[in-house]
Amino acid sequence: MLVAGAGPTGLALACGLVMQGVSVRVVDTAAGPATTSRANFLHARGSEVLARLGALGSLPEESVRAMRVTTYLGDRPIMRLRFGDPGLRTAAPPMVISQARVEAALRDRLSEFGGAPEWGAPLVDAQADGAGVTAVLGDGRSVHARWLVGCDGTGSTVRRLAGIGFPGVKVSERFLLADLHLDWDLDRGGTSGWIHPAGLLGAMPMPDPDGRGDLWRLLAYDPGGTGEKPSEEEILDRFAAIIPERTGDTSVRIRDAVWLSLFTVHRRLAEAYRRGRILIAGDAAHAHAPFGGQGMLTGLGDAENLAWKLGLVVRGVAGEPLLDTYEAERRPLATEVLRGTTAVTRMNITRNAAGRFLRDQVAVRLFGLPWIQRRATYTASQLWVSYRKGPLGGAGRKPRPGDRIGDLDCVRTDGTRTRLHTALRGRWALLDPAADADGLAAAARARLGEHVVPLRPGTEGPGDALLVRPDGHLAWRGRDAAALGRWLDGVLRDGRAPR
Ligand SMILES: Cc1cc2nc3c(=O)[nH]c(=O)nc-3n(C[C@H](O)[C@H](O)[C@H](O)COP(=O)(O)OP(=O)(O)OC[C@H]3O[C@@H](n4cnc5c(N)ncnc54)[C@H](O)[C@@H]3O)c2cc1C
């Protein structure tokens, strides 16, 4: 298996594949790991993916728990949003953590399996044939693999070589970005945003590896600045002017800069996620605004969804149609996420009177309502994601096949206690109140092999057995081993749940 790109998506995919017993080679154009970070926020579902991959490590302790977003008009707070509702039964918390640290944690996990990305190794060409893909690296070496996955970001070479279109539109003019050590008496318990006629300014506290506790991520809309790309010095000068102009606070002092950059928001979605033996995931498949912290989160979810399916196909347990369920489950989700991030961007940058009225008067009031706040947290967290309407989904009582199963107390066959998501770790869980090892567990193991963990729910009670997929979604529920066998046979052969 060849993975192009050692960003969060490629690394998560590599870890997931190795956990499925698949050998993986990861190549990346860059000379080495990134030291600066685009993403700074990981919502709960992303943390859960890391936990299920065994890659969470010490990230929760290192992270900043800055779950509030306060919006100001001048110096007047007009809206407060609070993320991280404790009632969501997650296996891991949402985190303010740098993308560089997330990638490092994934690399550490990969190295536990003896793997490591190959740096300075761009994929420059790829030819697919019936038996696999022959890729060419920058130094002329050719690599043959049965499958190639492009996790190579928005400018994906793999996507282009596979002939997959990436239609979309530009959503905004440029934003300036700066990670700065600041002398600023601003609340580090959350993100602050200022609405200003010249454009939005956002300030988010960042975990500070050197312990100074004064590192901030600033984002400023700069719609006038459409000319030549400014130098780092010019970006810094712009921030020195923008901070007092948009916050009204003239006491802020810039100590030093860690990273200065700029970006423009585009909304793009790949026409397909697979062409034969070539697949794409993460930003290679969907590009959107950073607002709402959805990009890395969605890429990690793609990787987890694809890993177990590719694992089954590579091991010869499932046929290729199972791989089509990857696009069928993940592309509609990306469409939804793109809609949300585009709406948030448009709201942030609106300059016309009607848009400003909607944002500053209507949205502000709505977001003050507790139930809207809960809804916003839930939406941003992606804990709502369900594949119920996809080819592996189903109807009936909740939870339905395709729904995410929250973390639960469980009992192993040896009587020791565990949590559902801890038990998954690349495997399927059969959560059977009757603990009938000869019936349901045997039917699952006959098809999926040793990748099934039999468990009993920690709290007693009658009910269906649940077969939970490695990505934490419900595969099947019922009591009849023959029906479970038919379901698995259909899914593994046809990539469709028998109706
Ligand atoms: C300012 C900003 C803030 C953001 N904040 C958040 C946030 O808070 N939360 C969030 O979830 N998301 C956020 N995002 C989005 C997030 O950064 C991306 O969605 C994420 O990096 C996507 O990961 P990826 O692995 O798919 O792609 P990338 O991170 O782009 O990784 C692609 C990798 O592929 C390599 N590569 C490229 N071409 C080739 C080739 N031909 N061969 C081999 N390797 C190649 C690159 O070197 C790179 O290492 C933000 C984005 C920006 C710009």
Measured CA angle at 275 (ends 10, 23), to 5 deg: 40
Residue with the nearest Cα to atom 36 of ligand 1? 152
pLDDT, tens digit (0-9, with 9 covering 90-100), for 150-186:
999 999 999 999 999 999 999 888 999 999 999 999 9
Q: How far is the CA of 303 from the centre of ligand 1 (A)?
A: 13
Report which ligand 1 atom has the smallest distance to the Cα of 295: 19
Question: What DSSP state is assigned to residue 226?
Answer: -
370-425, pLDDT tens digit by residue? 777 777 777 888 888 999 999 999 999 999 999 999 999 999 999 999 999 999 99
Please check whether residue 45 is in contact with residue 385, taking contact to mean a CB–CB distance below 8 angstroms.
Answer: yes
Lowest mean pLDDT among 50-59, 111-120, 285-294, 475-484: 285-294
- Extended strands (E) in 364-469: 409-412, 417-419, 428-431, 452-457, 465-468
Strands 428-431 and 452-457: parallel
Q: How far apart, in Å, are the Cα atoms of 277 and each of 32, 320, 323?
A: 28, 10, 10
Taking the CA of residue 302 as reference, the ligand 1 atom at the shortest distance is: 26
Q: Which of 190-199, 220-229, 260-269, 436-445 has the highest mean pLDDT?
A: 260-269
**Cα 40 to middle of ligand 1, angstroms:** 12
Which residue, 185, 155, 128, is CA-closest to 7? 155
The 10s digit of each residue's pLDDT in 72-102 is 877 778 777 776 655 667 888 889 999 999 9
Q: Does 48 contact ligand 1 (Cβ within 6 A)?
A: no
pLDDT band at 28 (very low <50, low <70, confident <90, very high): very high
Q: Order of strands, edge to edge, in the sheet holding 132-137?
A: 123-129, 132-137, 142-145
C-alpha–C-alpha distance, residues 15 and 2, integer Å: 13
In the beta sheet, which residues pair with residue 278?
Answer: 148, 275
How much distance in Å is there from the Cα of 28 to the middle of ligand 1? 12
Which segments of 113-167 are extended strands (E)?
A: 123-129, 132-137, 142-145, 148-150
Distance 77 CA to ligand 1 centre (A): 33
Distance 434 CA to ligand 1 centre (A): 45
Instruction: Write down the pLDDT at residue 267.
Output: 93
State the distance from the centre of ligand 1 to the C-alpha of 296, rounded, in angstroms: 7
Look at residue 462 in the predicted model and tell me its pLDDT.
63
**What is the percent of the chain where pLDDT is above 90?**
73
Helix, strand, coil shares, percent, the chain, to 5: 35, 25, 40
- pLDDT confidence of 447, banded at 50, 70, 90? very high
CA angle, residues 174, 177, 179, in degrees to nearest 5? 180
The two counts, helices (H) then strands (E), for the chain are: 14, 24
Q: What's residue 197's pLDDT?
A: 85
Mean pLDDT (whole number) for 50-60: 95
* Ligand 1 lined by 172 (C-beta under 6 Å): no
Identify residue 90 by its one-letter amino acid code.
Answer: T
Residue 66 to residues 190, 289, 317, Cα–Cα distance (Å): 4, 20, 44
> pTM of the full predicted structure?
0.94
Per-residue pLDDT at 17: 98
Reading the block at residue 284, the tokens are: 């290679």
Q: If you measure from the C-alpha of residue 265 to the centroid of ligand 1, how many angstroms do you get, rounded to a whole number?
A: 14
User: 110-114, 200-204, 281-285 — which is least confidently predicted?
Assistant: 200-204
Pocket test for ligand 1, best of 24, 29, 37, 110 (most atoms within 8 A of CB): 29
- Which residues sit opposite 487 in a β-bridge? none
Tell me, using a 6 A CB cutoff, whether residue 119 lines ligand 1: no
The DSSP secondary structure of 154-193, one letter per residue, reads TT-HHHHHTT----EEEEEEEEEEEEEEEE----TTEEEE
Give the H or E element holding residue 255: strand 253-269
For 436, list phi and psi in degrees, rounded to 5: -90, 85
* Residues 235-259, mean pLDDT to the nearest whole number: 95
Q: Would you give the DSSP letter of residue 228?
A: S
- The number of C-alpha atoms within 13 Å of 188 and in the hemisphere containing its C-beta is 19
The number of the ligand 1 atom at minimal distance from the alpha carbon of 34 is 49
Beta-carbon neighbour count of residue 365 at 10 Å?
Answer: 12
Region 272-281 average pLDDT = 97
- What band does 33 get if pLDDT is binned at 50, 70 and 90? very high
C-alpha to C-alpha distance for 397 and 477, rounded to whole angstroms = 10
